[in-house]
């Protein structure tokens, strides 16, 4: 049995090319999505980057999610921890199986996917080099402040989002900033859905981040 057959999430992997600079996007879908949903988005955000896209292992009325919730905006904290740890293990195992550079993994999550990406940042701060979070919420309040000083985060929120309030967005941004992360917040004039302005902002942000990364690498 090879390494890839032992990975704990159903997933898709699309290899990168030389233009990708060794970057891998970990694509994390929203409720009801699957491992194919965000592939086109990933290809737009970072042309040439490798794409690793797992499917959430929890079902809610038949719809895949990355962790259970008790109600809208109320998360099952025990399952959140279990699934967060499992996603970290999957990411680390995938790094070996697909020869991914662990220091160049960027999480790109939407809604439920953004929430579990935020959970990984707060519980395992060394896993992601950066993160693009579309419509995230606060997953939990850590007992101890993590060290995110070398992590860059883009938070993309909706001004008319009925699921995630602006106050919730600011709470999460404050959590990340208190941990030392460099956070950029952009606001979409619509609601919870993604808009072209979200995609453009994330593409520009990632392009700038990649340029700084390569400059620092010499």
Would you call 104 exposed, middle or buried from its count of C-beta atoms within 10 A (0-12, 13-18, 19+)?
buried
Q: Name 143's Cβ contacts closer than 8 Å, sequence gap at least 6.
A: none
Distances (CA, A) of 218 to 18, 67, 91, 165, 212: 17, 40, 27, 41, 10
Q: How many CB atoms lie within 10 A of CB 160?
A: 11
Q: Which residue has the tokens 């030392």?
A: 180
Number of alpha carbons in the 13 Å side-chain half-sphere of residue 216: 8
Active site residues: 111, 161, 192
Largest CA-CA distance found in the chain, in angstroms, rounded: 50
Q: How far apart are CA 96 and CA 71, in angstroms?
A: 37
Our measurement of the distance from residue 3's CA atom to the centroid of its chain's CA atoms, rounded to an integer in Å, reads 23
Residue ranges of the alpha helices (H) in the chain?
39-45, 77-97, 112-123, 166-178, 196-217
């Amino acid at each position: 049995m090879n390494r890839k057959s032992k990975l704990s999430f159903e997933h898709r992997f699309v290899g990168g090319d030389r233009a990708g600079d060794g970057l891998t996007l970990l694509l994390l879908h929203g409720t009801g999505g699957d491992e194919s949903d965000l592939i086109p988005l990933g290809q737009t955000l970072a042309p040439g980057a490798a794409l690793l896209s797992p499917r959430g292992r929890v079902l809610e009325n038949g719809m895949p999610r990355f962790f259970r919730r008790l109600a809208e905006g109320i998360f099952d904290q025990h399952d959140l921890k279990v699934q967060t740890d499992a996603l970290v293990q999957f990411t680390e195992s995938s790094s070996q199986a697909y020869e991914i550079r662990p220091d160049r993994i960027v999480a790109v999550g939407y809604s439920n996917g953004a929430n579990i990406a935020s959970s990984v940042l707060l519980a395992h701060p060394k896993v992601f080099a950066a993160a693009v979070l579309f419509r995230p919420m606060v997953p939990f309040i850590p007992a101890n402040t993590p060290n995110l000083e070398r992590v860059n985060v883009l938070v993309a929120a909706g001004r008319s989002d009925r699921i995630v309030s602006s106050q919730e967005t600011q709470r999460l941004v404050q959590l990340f900033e208190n941990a030392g992360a460099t956070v950029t917040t952009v606001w979409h004039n619509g609601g919870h859905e993604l808009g072209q302005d979200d995609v453009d902002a994330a593409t520009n942000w990632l392009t700038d981040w990649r340029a700084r990364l390569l400059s620092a690498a010499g």
